[in-house]
Amino acid sequence: MSTMTASPMPTIRSRVSCTDPPRGLCRLGMMMAAVIGLPGCINAYYQAPRTALDERVYASFYPYFAEYCAVSEFNKKKGVGVGVDLEGGGPGGHSVFYLNGACRVRDAGYPVLTLCSESADGMAGRGVGLSVNDHYANANWTATEGRDFFYHGALAPGEGLTSASYARTQQEAKAAGILDGVVFHSEALAPKPADMSSTDYMYAISVATDYAIDLARDRFCARVPLDRSKMEIIVRYLNALNEPYRTGQKEFHWNVLRDNCAYVAHNALAMVSVWPELSPDRPLLIAAFDFPVPKNEFVNLMRRTNDMPIADPDTLYDDEIDRVALLQQGWIATEPGALAEARPAVQPNELYNTHLRLIFYDEPIFGHYQERFDRIFAEPRYTDLAANLRYFSQLYTAILARSQMLPPGMSAARTAFYQLYYDRIAHQKADVDAKLARLSRGAG
């Protein structure tokens, strides 16, 4: 497989093959439809087996990780809940970004991140979930503390969604101050019922989009193991991203092509050399043919972290992103522990319909996204920790079994890269075998 120097982006088409015309990407809408037409919409409904990871074991191996999730539309039942009937967007869906090992600064009165303190109890579930929403005027992203609440709200394990648990989730979100300091655009508040406070309405239109995602949406998540130093880079980037909105220097305006919900996660990962950055300031015509789409990004990230040709150091060296990642940050993006997880919306569900759409934007006849997606959930190495570690152990063994004599006539720069490459492979081989041994002993 050739090196992916940038995440493959959708081929724009003027026809739609979905049952219903898409109304939204990142909740509000694919406004590009009015400008340049839409690509084909491929397999809009939940198409993966339910998978789940043992959070305690995973976090004991990888206490710092990023998790990008493509999440479906939501479809609220009429006449239920708090009396607010909300559009669920279209099959383009939404995306969210969870960071294990990053915590919210609780007394900041605004979404600000810091690294979590180390804990003897481990790092499982200790993190923040980020969401981007066109409602925000003075923030690019908001942060919800705690993995469980970010995804599941106040529901107990196995509990269905009822009006009571829905209201309880919103009350706990308010108590946590998820939206403290965040100002919504006036047009987002315009539909507020007269007998409802602005704060209550803000939390009502944010549930299942900015927090408690599983209450209404299917999700497909891709994990990227990091270390503390890389998480610190991401935290600094995200705080700097919000700062001009916090200080009033800028007002945030969501844009489907140049600043949609997937940009924050994509560019945060670019800061640690997972892939190239996508600037929101790019010309519109360029952005129209090269913008992140939630479900596409899930596949792109899984491929980037699992399927680069890491057995070929020359190919890695010739890719600028891979070269910088190893020379400056000491890693290769395709490494053990990058796993996928698929979870459907909560059932039983009194408030939301659960037959939901999330499409690929792809060439409808010759596109490859569905094939790549299906492979992720068909091969255990993409979803099962033990299978993933075994795969990389075998791959590293094969790499190290080759002659490590450097080809003659190489430049000093390439020679230095080769030496770092083999050192990294040997280090990862020892680490992955140690993790396999821990798993075989039943230890987390």
The first and second tokens of residue 166, run together, are 């829905």
Q: What is the pLDDT of residues 72-129, one digit of tens each?
A: 999 999 876 544 545 556 788 999 999 999 999 989 999 999 999 988 789 999 999 9
Give the other-Cβ count within 10 Å of 208's Cβ.
27
CA angle 394, 395, 401 (to 5 degrees): 90
| Per-chain mean pLDDT for the chain | 87
Torsion region of 71: left, alpha or beta (phi above 0 gives left; psi -120 to 50 gives alpha)? beta
**H-run or E-run covering 142:** strand 142-145
Burial class (CB in 10 A: 0-12, 13-18, 19+), 82: middle
**Beta strand pairing call for 94-100 and 127-131:** antiparallel
Backbone angles phi and psi of 212, in degrees to 5: 55, 50
User: How far is residue 258's CA from residue 283's CA, in Å, rounded to a whole number?
Assistant: 9
The answer to whether 144 touches 170, Cβ cutoff 8 Å, is: no
Binning the chain into helix, strand and coil, the percentages to the nearest 5 are 40, 15, 50
Q: According to the model, what pLDDT value does residue 443 have?
A: 63
In a domain, 10, yes or no: no
- Residue 185 pLDDT more than 50? yes
Q: Three-class SS string for 49-73?
A: CCCCCCHHHHHHHCCEEEEEEEECC
Q: CB under 8 Å to 351, separation ≥6 — which residues? A: 76, 77, 80, 81, 161, 162, 163, 166, 215, 216
Q: According to the model, what pLDDT value does residue 92 have?
A: 86
Q: According to the model, what pLDDT value does residue 255 have?
A: 72
DSSP character at residue 12: P
Q: According to the model, what pLDDT value does residue 31 have?
A: 42
In the chain the first and final C-alpha atoms are separated, in Å, by: 34
Q: What percent of the chain has pLDDT over 70?
A: 84
- Residue 282 pLDDT more than 80? no
In a domain, 373, yes or no: yes
Q: According to the model, what pLDDT value does residue 18 have?
A: 29
**What is the domain extent for residue 51?**
31-311+336-385
In a domain, 320, yes or no: no
H helices then E strands: how many in the chain?
A: 14, 12
Length of the chain: 444
DSSP character at residue 83: S
The 3-state DSSP class for residue 151 equals: helix
Mean pLDDT of 207-232: 97
Cα separation values, 155 from 142, 148, 149, 370, Å: 21, 9, 8, 32
pTM to 2 decimals? 0.89
User: How far is residue 192's CA from residue 179's CA, in Å, rounded to a whole number?
Assistant: 17
- Count of structural domains, the chain: 1
Q: Radius of gyration (Cα) for the chain, nearest Å?
A: 22
In a domain, 324, yes or no: no
Helix 385-401 with 412-440: angle, nearest 10 deg: 140
User: How far is residue 354's CA from residue 346's CA, in Å, rounded to a whole number?
Assistant: 8
User: How far is residue 155's CA from residue 173's CA, in Å, rounded to a whole number?
Assistant: 12
Q: What is the pLDDT of residues 155-172, one digit of tens each?
A: 999 999 999 999 999 999
Instruction: State the DSSP string of 172-234.
Output: HHHHHTTTTT--B-HHHHTT--TTS-HHHHHHHHHBTTTB-GGGT--EEEEEEEE-HHHHHHH
Mean pLDDT of 364-377: 87
Q: What percent of the chain has pLDDT over 90?
A: 72
User: How far is residue 281's CA from residue 109's CA, in Å, rounded to a whole number?
Assistant: 29
Q: What is the pLDDT of residues 39-51, one digit of tens each?
A: 555 667 777 788 8
Could you identify the residue written with the tokens 């394990």? 157
Residue-wise over 101-127: b if at least 16 C-beta within 10 A, else e? Answer: bbbbeeeeebbbbebbeeeeeebbebb
User: How far is residue 134's CA from residue 141's CA, in Å, rounded to a whole number?
Assistant: 10
In a domain, 379, yes or no: yes
In a domain, 22, yes or no: no
User: How far is residue 369's CA from residue 364's CA, in Å, rounded to a whole number?
Assistant: 10
In a domain, 423, yes or no: no
- If pLDDT is split at 50, 70 and 90, which confidence band does 442 have? confident
User: How far is residue 308's CA from residue 326's CA, in Å, rounded to a whole number?
Assistant: 14
In a domain, 83, yes or no: yes
Q: Is the dihedral of CA 328, 333, 339, 344 positive or negative?
A: positive
- If pLDDT is split at 50, 70 and 90, which confidence band does 224 have? very high
